[in-house]
Amino acid sequence: MLAAMEQREVVKRVIGILTEAREMQRLLEADLEREDLDAGAGAVTALLNETMPHIAIPDDFSVEEVVTVVGREVGGAVEQLVSAFTLAFTMLAQVHDSGQTDVSSADVLQDLALRVEAGGPEDEDDGPVL
C-alpha cells in the first residue's frame, strides 16, 4: 500500500490543477478553434492514483465487508482531496467577495502555494489573502 500523501503536497497539486485549468481556459478564450490542449484529466488522474490507497480484498469477504473496508480506506483520501480543493476555493472566494479587483485568481493561488510551502496557511490566521 502506498504511504498517504502529505496534505501540503496534495494542496500544492490541487493548486497546480487549478492553475493549469485557468491557463487552458485563457488559451481557449484566445483561440476557440484550438484543439491541442489537454483537458487536464492527466493531472487529476495522477493525483487520484497517488492519493487513493491500494486495497486488497480477500476473496471470501461479503459485500458488506468490502463496503466497510473500501469506505474506511478511501474515505481518508477523499477527505484529503476535498479539504485541499475546499481550501483553494475558500481563499479564492474570500478575495472575490472582498471586491479586490487588483488581485487575480492566479495571484491568490500563487500566494496559497507560497503559504503552503512556508508551512501555512492553516498556521496563519491573519485575515484575507494578499
pTM of the model: 0.73
Can you tell me the distance from the alpha carbon of 116 to that of 101, in angstroms, rounded to the nearest whole number?
24
30 within domain boundaries: yes
20 within domain boundaries: yes
31 within domain boundaries: yes
What range defines the domain where residue 59 resides? Answer: 1-117
Whether pLDDT at 109 is above 70: yes
Taking only the tens place, the pLDDT of each residue in 37-51 is 665 567 888 888 888
Does the bond joining 121 to the residue before it have cis omega, within 30 degrees of 0? yes
122 within domain boundaries: no
- The confidence band for 34, taking pLDDT boundaries of 50, 70 and 90, is low
Give DSSP secondary structure letters for 42-58. Answer: HHHHHHHHHHSPP----
130 within domain boundaries: no
128 within domain boundaries: no
Sign of CA dihedral 104, 127, 80, 115: positive
Number of domains the chain is built from: 1
Taking only the tens place, the pLDDT of each residue in 57-75 is 999 999 999 999 999 989 9
62 within domain boundaries: yes
Highest mean pLDDT among 13-17, 20-24, 27-31, 33-37: 13-17
